[in-house]
Amino acid sequence: MSRQNFHTHTRLCKHASGWIDDYCQAALAQKVSVLGFSDHTPFPDGRWFGVRMSLEELPEYAAAIRQAKTAYPGLAVLGGMECEHVPEYLDFFRDTLLGQFELDYLAGTLHSYQYRGKWTALYGSAITDDQLAAYADQVAAAINSGLYAFIAHPDLFGVSLRGWSPAAEACSRTIVEAAVAGQVPLEINAYGLRKKTIADGDGCRHQYPLRRFWEIAAEYGRLLVVANSDAHAPEDVWGNTDDAMNLARELHLHVVNDALAAHLTASSTH
Ligand SMILES: [Zn+2]
Ligand SMILES: [Zn+2]
């Protein structure tokens, strides 16, 4: 089976190692045939600067990807960006990232969400029912924007969820139903499988992917799913993606890595 990974970071985000070429070489070694870069987007106002490239580094990132596209026979390289769904920057994503820098795709994400007028990180204290609803609505808005090729780790709320609840179920359904309606793939993120597990209720679980989320997702026949490594080191360019694929297979989820690769490489800029 061919291997595609659409979720890859670089040292520019300050919490990953390796540069574009390191990941391309690792991809060839790990039999990955389609490699999409999706480093954390910079913001014109410099927000969340500690975990992303600066605006000044964007040309270097785009140029390195452009060079890599012709440098590695046998490897299809795609340029993308992982974008926090900040409504006031959707024009920047569209006009600058996709337009001016000719990136091939954007991955939508929310590591933080707006709650009572403030951006609140998912990583932190236990998430409340109200906060789950706010997060779900904003992920649905990201899906409905039509800007994103897929939504990265929609179940990231698992990092601060303590005990499954009706609110967690409602949050899951809001996200999945928006994804089904818009036919935007949701990502099973294998990086979560490489992170330490947490105690929750009687047992231990991955912070994400959240099995309960994907069991609910499996109830929806038309849901599209991508499995990605979310590589933060070249050796993880395939990472635990087989495990993510196995979860999808077990739950009879419809994995579309092949179709997404065909779609994105067909429209890819060279
Ligand atoms: Zn990251
Ligand atoms: Zn990521």
Q: Give me the pLDDT at residue 1, please.
A: 74
Distance 231 CA to ligand 1 centre (A): 8
C-alpha to C-alpha distance for 81 and 6, rounded to whole angstroms: 10
Per DSSP bridges, beta strands 105-109 and 150-151 are parallel
pLDDT at 159: 95
CA distances from 19 to 13, 39, 64, 71, 115 (A): 11, 11, 9, 14, 35
Write out the chain's pLDDT in tens, 270 residues.
Answer: 799 999 999 999 999 999 999 999 999 999 999 999 999 999 999 999 999 999 999 999 999 999 999 999 999 999 999 999 999 999 999 999 999 999 999 999 999 999 999 999 999 899 999 999 999 999 999 999 999 999 999 999 999 999 999 999 999 999 999 999 999 999 999 999 999 999 988 789 999 999 999 999 999 999 999 999 999 999 999 999 999 999 999 999 999 999 999 999 998 866
DSSP state for residue 51 in the 8-state scheme: G
Give the closest ligand to the alpha carbon of residue 190: 2
How many angstroms does the Cα of residue 7 sit away from the middle of ligand 2?
A: 6
Q: Rounded to the nearest whole angstrom, what is the distance from the C-alpha of residue 244 to the centroid of ligand 1?
A: 18
Say which ligand is closest to the CA of 230.
2
CATH number at residue 28: 3.20.20.140
Instruction: Report the distance separating Cα 94 and Cα 29, nearest Å.
Output: 33
**pTM (2 d.p.):** 0.97
How far apart are the CA of 17 and the centre of ligand 2, in A? 13
Q: How far is the CA of 201 from the centre of ligand 2 (A)?
A: 27
C-alpha span between 127 and 123 (Å, rounded): 9
Q: Which ligand is nearest to the CA of 232?
A: 1
Domain with 104, as residue range(s), is 3-266
How many Cβ atoms sit within 10 Å of the Cβ of residue 121?
12
> Among all ligands shown, which has an atom nearest to the Cα of 153?
2
Ligand 1 geometric centre to CA of 193 (Å): 14
Q: Residue 79: beta bridge partners?
A: 37
Q: What confidence score (pLDDT) does residue 203 get?
A: 86
What gap in Å lies between CA 2 and CA 42, rounded to an integer?
A: 32
Give the chain's domain count. Answer: 1
Tokens representing 4?
Answer: 């595609």
Distance from the alpha carbon of residue 39 to the mean position of ligand 2, in angstroms: 7
- 205 three-state secondary structure: strand
Would you state the structure tokens that stand for residue 195, as one six-digit string? 């992170």
Helix (H, G, I), strand (E, B) or coil at 221: coil
